[in-house]
Chains A and B, each alone.
Chain A
Amino acid sequence: MSQHKETIKHDFEPNIVAFVCNWCTYTGADLAGTSRLKYEPNVRIIRLPCTGRIDYNLLLKAFESGADGVLVSGCHPNDCHYNLGNFHARRRFTVFRQLLDFVGIDIRRIQFAWVSAAEGAKWAQLVTQVTNEVRELGPFTNYKRISELSFPYKELEPEPLEEVTA
């Protein structure tokens, strides 16, 4: 008999989006399933051919549409099905993450990992770990506020100018 595990209710359940490559991490996530490993159900996987395909616009879009955390995962260095895609991804990601840091976004919300097709256990552990970290960080509101502010069709009341005193 399987043990009944009590599910802990949290106040906040984060939305996690995972962008994964088809060859390593997607297959690794499948392996986690075939091995019946358990992980947090907060993650939504978006399957792409390669991490090299992951444009930073996709990651921004994920935040914009309500993600509290984003996970990018692909093949280990040198193991890329397309030889080099993951190296491109790594470079782009490093720079992009620094940029996010610079604009004041907590970079713990955006994480990068290598998960091979054989690492189902690593995937399960990773998802749980990222979910827990983001859960602690709480909902990601500042991006939403920025996008609300910056969208031209949503006109905001101009703030009254402060009187300048000499």
Chain B
Amino acid sequence: MARIGVFVCHCGENIGRTVDCSVVAKESAKLRDVVYSVDYKYMCSDPGQIMVKDAIKKHNLTGVVIASCSPLMHEKTFRRAVQETELSPFLCEMANIREQCSWVHEDKVLATKKAVDLVRLMVEKVKRNTPLEPIRIPVTKRALVIGGGIAGIQAALDIADGNQEVVMVEKSPSIGGHMAQLSETFPTLDCSQCILTPKMVSANSHKNIKLYTYTEVESVTGYIGNFDVTLRKKARYVDDSICSGCGICQEKCPQKKISSEFNTGLGKRPAIYIPFPQAVPNIPVIDKERCTYFKNGKCKACEKFCDRNAIKFDQTDEFINIKVGAIVVATGYEMYNIGKNNKNGIKGYGEYGCGEDPDIIDSLQFERLLSASGPTFGEVKRPSDGKVPETVVFLQCVGSRDKAKGMEYCSKICCMYTAKHTMLYKHKVHHGQAFVFYLDIRAGGKNYDEFVRRAIEEDGAIYLRGRVSKIYREGDKLIVKGADTLSGSQVEIAADLVVLATAITAQPDIVPLAQKLGVGYDKYHFLSEAHPKLKPVETNSAGIFLAGACQAPKDIPESVAQASAAAAKVLGLCSATELEREPYVAKVYESTCAGCGFCIEACPYKAIDNKAIVNRQGKLIKNVAYINQGLCQGCGTCLSVCRSKSIDLAGFTDEQIFSEINSLFV
């Protein structure tokens, strides 16, 4: 005979406002097998949990239903509390009367009725719950870090310093990411490369870090503690074990006019190239698309001049299999391109010339113009004719916060870097004048607002609140037509250079990776965290963590903080030799199983196999399905293909679900 206790939480006012909790408790008491029910202001608080524990002991409860928030929020909390009373934690279920009832409905009578229904469902379910034993699985003490930007580097270094092995994967030829492209950083104006490159070097030389550059993640299988990852090391056509990085190949390459990705198209590079002088590893890569030899079958100039014979034109992609226990995703961001042919399929900005005018550039390009290692060696010269621009107009929120372009979010860092740009520009071109068109200044952060004020007050940047409607060329000048909404007037500025603070967007190729990893993403393709406030680093896939701008636009301090947080999570995971996993796995009723094998084909994890049942003489009686509990992830796909209903899923058994449905409408 089941003895169920129902505990209804008011969640302060959150549930109590639209659901009459005392009615829910009273109605629950009338349900069959419910021997105790109560409502309380905060069930998750210490007194609330004590209440649950006391009631279990006092009333000899065999099952508990907590009617409160989503199980994704507090199921663990309550199961832990239940466990302390020696009742199995799996005999505790939650009725979600907050996220899926009180917060989404307005009519108190109907919401209360729904809450009672949800409690009844869970009472029926919990009656049929069985005490389960958590499954223990071993942990591979190695982590994979995807992405070699500042977030990836920080996470890898922190994990490696915690004495765990790290495999770091970067898809481009060098680590460093976008931070390596920056000139100086806000709000301290310290040189970006000076703080980054030492970290890049130590990531490469750390004894616990194995670095794979020019490598992508091909496939990921497995689960927390036991991921099997295949990496595809793309052919560089340079043997990285022989190459010394002398750079003679770059000098001798006849192709010299290829636009450099690192310099955002403002500089040139040869077909065999090291992306930038401080690249890690300092090993060139051949751009197969543009190499004369690969195009015409003749040249091999680099091979001739390489005195170590490191050039290997016959190199092919290499596949590397690794086992890891945890994964940190730090794939970063891409800048929104105002051009017509946008990668993400977002419309360009026709009113800003669709990126066709060389003097309308984006912020990352301006960053390269400011950088001492950039194409102009740090002198601000405009791309069209190399003239020093005397009037520069900066436009904020290009793409960001613009519903028409499909990016309603704030890119967060543009206010700050634009202020930095105006300052750096003023420091380099003393007679120059910077104008900034902005919507709002969002300078939340330590010393951030002071920094913007400094740009305005000390370096004389003129801030105009409003949007720019059109930019067009008139001879030597770019005419910027915009509105100053504070003075209510139209503004027309003849500029030499226009810098667009374009939106931070998700990596264009993030979706296939997210799908390989089983990590969710939002409509802008930024990866989703497990909980926006309390689990900002975890994802819904256990053992996979996020760091940096792959989750949302972030500045460097935030990316570093999140990377370190992810590293702490990985180290925590690796500190255990065994992990406990929820025992929601499928099981086979061998007596009715006909051995048809449908489930074997349906199982996404290859967890099901044939098992021969033999009699004492060793004669085969029949074949049945056998489920490897270590591999089973509990999706239940096998259940629904089973014709004889010979498989059941612990935690979501047919009996449980059917009784839920049966009690839906009474």
Contacts and interface: CB of A to CB of B under 8 A. Distances in A.
A30 B520 contact: no
B217 to A, nearest CB: 15
B118 interface: yes
B110 interface: yes
A44 B664 CA distance: 8
Contacts, number: 147
Task: Specify which of A23, A55, A62, A78 lies most central, judged by the most chain B CB atoms within 10 Å of its CB.
Answer: A55
Interface residues of B, number: 55
A6 B635 CA distance: 42
Task: Specify which of B73, B110, B114, B520 lies most central, judged by the most chain A CB atoms within 10 Å of its CB.
Answer: B520
Contacts of B652: 48-49, 53
Given A33-B98, A41-B107, A78 B515 contact: yes
A151 B92 CA distance: 35
Interface string A21-65: 001101101101110111101001111111011111010011001
Contact of B584 (A27, A30, A49, A117): A49
B165 interface: no
Given A33-B98, A53-B652, A67 B660 contact: no
A34 B649 CA distance: 30
Given A34-B103, A38-B104, A117-B540, A48 B657 contact: yes
A17 B118 CA distance: 12
A12 interface: no
Contacts of B662: 61, 65
Nearest to B603: A84
A47 B528 CA distance: 21
A55 B661 contact: no
B637 A46 contact: no
A79 B110 contact: no
B541 interface: yes
A117 B635 contact: no
B633 interface: yes
Interface in A92-130: 92, 116-119, 124
Contacts of A81: 518, 540-541, 635
B640 A88 contact: yes
Contacts of B71: 47
B289 interface: no
Given A30-B72, A33-B98, A118-B523, A49 B541 contact: no
Contact of A83 (B73, B96, B110, B604): B604
B528 A67 contact: no
Nearest to A7: B107
Contact of B664 (A29, A34, A36, A66): A66
B117 interface: yes
A15 interface: yes
A7 B106 contact: yes
A79 B637 contact: no
A12 to B, nearest CB: 14
Given A33-B99, A53-B635, A79-B520, A41 B114 contact: yes
Contacts of A78: 515
Given A49-B634, A92-B640, A38 B106 contact: yes
B658 A61 contact: yes
Contacts of B114: 41, 44
Given A33-B104, A34-B103, A118-B521, A53 B649 contact: yes
A65 B664 CA distance: 7
A85 interface: yes
Describe A's contact surface by its main secondary structure: loop
B522 interface: yes
Contact of B520 (A7, A49, A82, A118): A118
Given A82-B637, A88-B641, A26 B72 contact: yes
A50 B637 contact: yes
A54 B661 CA distance: 13
B100 interface: yes
B636 interface: yes
Contacts of A41: 101, 104-105, 107, 110-111, 113-114
Interface string B69-88: 01111000000000000000
Contacts of A88: 602, 637, 640-641
Interface in B94-144: 96, 98-101, 103-107, 110-111, 113-114, 117-118, 121
A5 interface: yes
B520 A23 contact: yes
A61 B654 CA distance: 11
Given A53-B640, A117-B520, A30 B107 contact: no
A131 to B, nearest CB: 12
Given A36-B103, A82-B604, A61 B110 contact: no
A82 B639 CA distance: 14
Contact of A30 (B70, B522, B523, B541): B70
Nearest to A116: B520
Interface string B535-574: 0000011000000000000000000000000000000000
A82 B113 CA distance: 34
Contact of B104 (A32, A47, A49): A32
A41 B108 CA distance: 10
B100 A45 contact: yes
Nearest to A92: B640
A53 B604 contact: no
Contacts of A117: 520, 528, 540
A10 to B, nearest CB: 12
Contacts of A118: 520-523, 528
A52 B72 contact: no
Given A61-B658, A81-B541, A15 B665 contact: yes
B661 A65 contact: yes
A26 B7 CA distance: 22
B640 A52 contact: yes
26 contacts: A30-B100, A34-B532, A36-B104, A38-B104, A38-B105, A39-B104, A39-B105, A41-B101, A44-B664, A46-B657, A46-B661, A49-B634, A49-B635, A53-B635, A53-B636, A53-B637, A53-B639, A53-B640, A65-B664, A65-B665, A66-B664, A81-B540, A81-B635, A118-B522, A119-B523, A124-B104
Interface of A: 5, 7, 15, 17, 23-24, 26-27, 29-30, 32-34, 36-39, 41, 44-50, 52-56, 58, 61-62, 65-67, 78-85, 88, 92, 116-119, 124
Given A54-B640, A84-B637, 18 more contacts: A17-B661, A26-B72, A29-B100, A30-B70, A30-B96, A30-B99, A33-B98, A37-B104, A38-B106, A41-B113, A50-B636, A61-B661, A62-B664, A65-B661, A82-B605, A88-B637, A117-B520, A118-B521
